[in-house]
Structure 1
Amino acid sequence: MSKFKKKPKADPGVSTASLPDIVFMLLFFFMVTTVLREQDLLVEQRLPQMTQLQKLEKKTLISYLFVGKPKNTSLYGTEPRIQANDVLIGTKDILLWVNQEKDKLSEAERDQITISMKADREVKMGPISDIQFELREADARKLMYASTGKVEN
């Protein structure tokens, strides 16, 4: 036998030096290509100008109602319609919609829900008061009217 024995050679490990670069490239790719979708508006929106401003504390407690003339007048007509969560609803469906929105919240936050109404400036007061009545029936007492920039005095 020989005096010297051959030592087994260890396989070289996989280099992880470029791993952080790959992770950050993937992260950057998904950040750039991801689209955060709120809602597709099915009604026209030209909001009135505001005279007062109040900041809301919790935006998670806000549910949005859009009121205006439908964009697709051949399918939905020219009368003002109500949009809630990408669906056109009638005034009688508001009670059901409010209850569904309250069910999404925790038990403690259900009575703190705020309805933000984004009504087109051309909508008459009749449909708005019908919506207000249905919201009172649904016990959604906090109502906010959305608007655009401040009116110059």
Structure 2
Amino acid sequence: MSKFKKKKGGDLPAISTASLPDIVFMLLFFFMVATVMRQNTLKIENRLPRADQTEKLAKRNLLMYIYAGKPSSAYKDMGTVARLQLNDKFASVNEIAAFIAAERDSKREEEKPFLTTVLSVDKETNMGLVSDIKQELRKVNALKINYKTAPGNPIDR
């Protein structure tokens, strides 16, 4: 007789599922933190003009976006003339001052000098609307302005 006996069945032990909820919640937490939500829903047509010498702006949290263009097909009841969009709503030019003030108030004091206004203007928009927007930005001392463009050759259509 031998002192040690071999096991007869070579069955694998059952996999423990005790840590499975922990793994699921870790994945859920990771995707909640890593996902970036869309900030604004465009209600206007925004075919950007092309430019060949463009730069990406570094800090996206210091940007204030003003959109201008004709209302998109879902908002044709708003007319066919170029409109202004601030955040998720149509606005008039005289609402820009309140928009800039609200954006400045939402930032920390040391970030306020670095705030930049980004004009995302459709290429078919009249320059009169852009000029009115720039006049309002001057009134509230928002003098850092960038124009959003699409990369490409400006001569090509």
Superposition TM-score tier, normalisation by shorter sequence: 0.7 to 0.9
Cα gap change, 1:35 to 1:61, in 2 (>3 Å): closer
Equivalent residue number for residue 76 of structure 2: 73
Query: Pairwise mapping of residues 108-123 of structure 1 onto structure 2 (< 5 A)?
Result: 108-123=110-125
1:96 aligns with 2:95: no
Residues 9-36 of structure 1: CA deviation (Å, up to 9, x unaligned):
xxxxxxxx6454323324445739x772
The structural deviation recorded for 1:134 is 0.4
Can you list the C-alpha shifts for 1:64-119, whole angstroms capped at 9, x where unaligned?
11111012122x11111111110111000101110100001111221221011110
Secondary structure (helix, strand or coil) at the match of 1:139 reads: coil
1:13 is aligned to none
The answer for unaligned runs of 5 or more in structure 1 is 1-16
Which residue of structure 1 aligns with residue 145 of structure 2? 143
Contact 1:62 1:116 in 2 (8 A): yes
| Percent identity over paired residues | 32
Structure 1 residue aligned with 2:53: 52
* Runs of 4+, deviation exceeding 6 Å: none
Query: In structure 1, how many angstroms separate the alpha carbons of the residues matched to 2:121 and 2:127?
Result: 10
SS of 1:78's partner is: coil
Decide whether aligned partners of structure 1 residues 151 and 77 sit closer, same or farther in structure 2, where only a CA change above 3 A counts.
Answer: same
TM score, norm. by length of structure 1 = 0.78
Residue 21 in structure 1 maps to residue 23 in structure 2: no
Q: Which amino acid is the alignment partner of residue 99 of structure 2?
A: W
How does the TM-score come out when normalised to structure 2?
A: 0.77
Which residue of structure 1 aligns with residue 107 of structure 2? 105
Alignment check: 8 A CA contact 2:65 2:118 kept: yes
Secondary structure of the equivalent of 2:131? helix
Mind listing any 5+ residue stretches in structure 2 that lack a counterpart?
Answer: 1-15
Tell me if the contact between 1:43 and 1:81 (Cα under 8 Å) persists in the aligned partners.
yes
- The DSSP-based 3-state class of the residue aligned with 1:88 is strand
The structure-2 alpha-carbon separation of the partners of 1:103 and 1:152, relative to structure 1 and needing over 3 Å to count, comes to closer
